[in-house]
Chain A
Amino acid sequence: MRSRLAFLLSGLAVATLQLAFAEDLSMSLPKSVEAGNAFSIQSTGSGKAALYIIGPGQVLKRDVQLGETTLFPAGSVYNAGHYIAVLAGDSSTESDSFDVLPARKPGDLSFLARPSRLQVGLHDGITGAVYVFDVYHNLITGPTPVSFELSDPSGTVQKRIVATRNGAAWTAMDSTTQQGIDKFVARLGEISSTRIVDQVPGDPCGLKMTARQSGKGVRLATDPVRDCNGNAVPDGTIVTFTESYSNGQSTVDVPLKHGVAEIQMPDHKGATISVASGVVLGNQIRWDK
């Protein structure tokens, strides 16, 4: 019983001594650091300790002499986010936190342009969205002006300048009336990203065919097929010829070649011949020859 009491008392004495001689650790951190910039952490106390910097996807460890300044050179921390610094001495630990902010200077931008192919003459048909990043690929959330330029083959340029909000800027532009390959460029200072937008003709407009006798059949041919803006409808577009006669019908789907659709169909006197492409109807001919 007596020995147990002595053991308890000696334990209490050791604990009290430890508290009395405990190191007085502390450190002063910057509130925030720009990604990639050098920074330093000042510690107080005496003796040696380990300094841990724990952040998104990154952990650093430095052996420090308490009371001295620990310097982190440029490029030490580069992922933007909330970091925790832990100063661990032999007998005590101190922790604090700071933020690493994206670098102010843009280093990269991601440009999403949709769609890559659309009809001519569509209002707000083309959309572009830009995300601005620094050189370490941190999203720069501060407002940054981004320039969007859409240029068609004739050299006409639509230009918009949009400030980013929370790291993103977007715009919508009209497709022009001329078919062709447009260049859609997002620019931020010296950084730019280019996308290609293919403006394609719309539905055929004023579809017209002519018919002539050809041997035992009737030769049908369309005029060059164009959309309502005068763009040539591309080859391969299907044109449907239908010949209706007293007791039957003949049909053929013909692809445009060199801008026209041409086919030979049976000769039925009094037949009505019509032409269509998709949902667009063309003219009708009554074949009486």
Chain B
Amino acid sequence: MNQGRIFAALLGATTLALVVIGTVWPVRSAVAYAGGQGLLRSSSTPEEAVRNLGNDIRDQAWGKAYASLVNKAQFTEPEFVHDLTGYYPSLRTYATLENFDVLPLHASADAAKIELKLHWSTVVGTFVSVRDLRVVRNGDRWEPEWPIVKEPMVPPQVIAVNYLRWDVIYRGPGDDWGAQDVESPHVRIVDMHPVERADGVVILGELLNEDVVPAYVSVTATLLSKNQSPIATEGSFDKISHLLLPKQVTPFLIKFPNVALSEVGSIRMTPQSALIAASADPVIEIDDEHLNPAPGASLTGQLINQSGQVVNIAHVLGTFYDKTGQVVWVADEYIDRALLPQTPAPFEIYIPEDLARSVSSQRTVIATYSVGGSQ
């Protein structure tokens, strides 16, 4: 009995001690979650000033971040917030800053230049944005200047859109059992090519909607061993443009991690398609596409939204071919900002260094998503 009381008293005392320690010396993440400040908010060096700004951005403490800027007279706090989160709903709006890197570029007694690399986390992966900040000394403190990028304003205008849209009526419960339902769109895999990579087998290919109606498509592949037993089944997930208008072609990429091509006897491909209500707009022009050689091989270009509708999220898919026209790689990038009408937005898709030399041509397709739209 006595031992139990001693044990209970010991537990109580330990809990109390931990509460006191946590309150007096909280960890940084706990402070952030509690909405408080870090205990070290010194801005006695340019790096510290930029690091504090990065912390405020990560904590979404916009007021504090804005207040720490030396050039805040040049823009308002909402403009600063929109510069980081997007003026229109976009991938940025739903992104959180995972971490950031601070890299001094140049420093003098009164001014310094610091690179702030922001690593954003989104539902479709991470993206990085880089800003070069000028930091100036103000007494014993350093204060960063924010290089604001204001969203280009589209002049008020009316853009005539010949709106084209498909809707679907499926069979109803009162229909005769023999009555046929609307036919699923006819799609066809026009190219398929397995590739062995360091991390496993990758299946590359292209899918064509050969029908006259829009299709929601996806592709799954099953690797079969030499004795025809299944090894694994995987889908294309987001490495495909899921909405295909009539006669449109999308690339697809399916990854099978930790599988060697030598184990594979055959591959069973299953393209799936379903009717979907869709719109033929917006039309996105892909301009100024360049294949940049290794090192840092990439496909760069810019997207121009030809319609009058804001495109909130654009997904760029690049298909890379060798000299014989065979697909050698498929890569993609999400544009983190909304595409405004007639306003170019740059993109850059990286190509694996070992494949870059064999790339001879490319084809790019865009999948778009608009808030409140069907795409």
Contact = CB atoms under 8 A, between A and B. Distances in A.
Given A236-B164, A263-B306, A117 B211 contact: yes
Interface residues of B, number: 41
A248 B247 contact: no
A252 B306 contact: yes
> Counting chain B CB atoms within 10 Å of each CB, which of A193, A235, A253, A279 scores highest?
A253
Contacts of B284: 252-253
A110 B210 contact: no
A278 to B, nearest CB: 4
A249 interface: yes
B28 interface: no
Contacts of B181: 116
Contact of A247 (B180, B212, B290): B290
B212 A252 contact: no
Interface stretch (B19-27, B171-179, B263-271): B171-179
A32 interface: no
A251 B289 contact: yes
Interface in A116-135: 116-118, 131
Interface in A243-288: 247-255, 257-258, 263, 265-266, 277-280
B165 to A, nearest CB: 9
A238 B248 contact: yes
B364 A251 contact: yes
A47 to B, nearest CB: 49
Contacts of B287: 250, 266
Contacts of A254: 283
Interface string B201-229: 00000001111111000000000000000
Contacts of B179: 195
B246 A234 contact: yes
Nearest to B161: A257
A200 B248 CA distance: 17
> Counting chain B CB atoms within 10 Å of each CB, which of A117, A235, A265 scores highest?
A117
B140 interface: no
A170 interface: no
A110 B176 CA distance: 8
Given A113-B180, A116-B181, A236-B166, A201 B212 contact: yes
Contacts of A208: none
B247 A278 contact: yes
A258 B162 contact: yes
A200 B185 CA distance: 12
Nearest to B286: A251
Contacts of A265: 285
Contacts of A251: 285-286, 289, 363-364
B214 to A, nearest CB: 7
B102 interface: no
Contacts of B177: 110
Interface string A221-255: 00000000000011111110000000111111111
B289 A248 contact: yes
A157 interface: no
Nearest to A129: B178
A252 B283 CA distance: 8
Given A116-B180, A255-B280, A257-B164, A249 B246 contact: no
B208 to A, nearest CB: 6
Given A247-B290, A249-B289, A237 B180 contact: no
A111 interface: yes
Contacts of B281: 255
A236 B182 contact: no
Given A112-B178, A235-B164, A238-B247, 5 more contacts: A117-B182, A131-B178, A247-B290, A252-B284, A253-B245
Interface of A: 110-118, 131, 193, 195, 200-201, 203-204, 233-239, 247-255, 257-258, 263, 265-266, 277-280
5 contacts: A110-B176, A116-B181, A234-B212, A253-B284, A254-B283
Closest 9 CB pairs of A and B: A278-B247, A255-B280, A110-B178, A238-B248, A252-B285, A237-B246, A117-B183, A249-B289, A200-B212
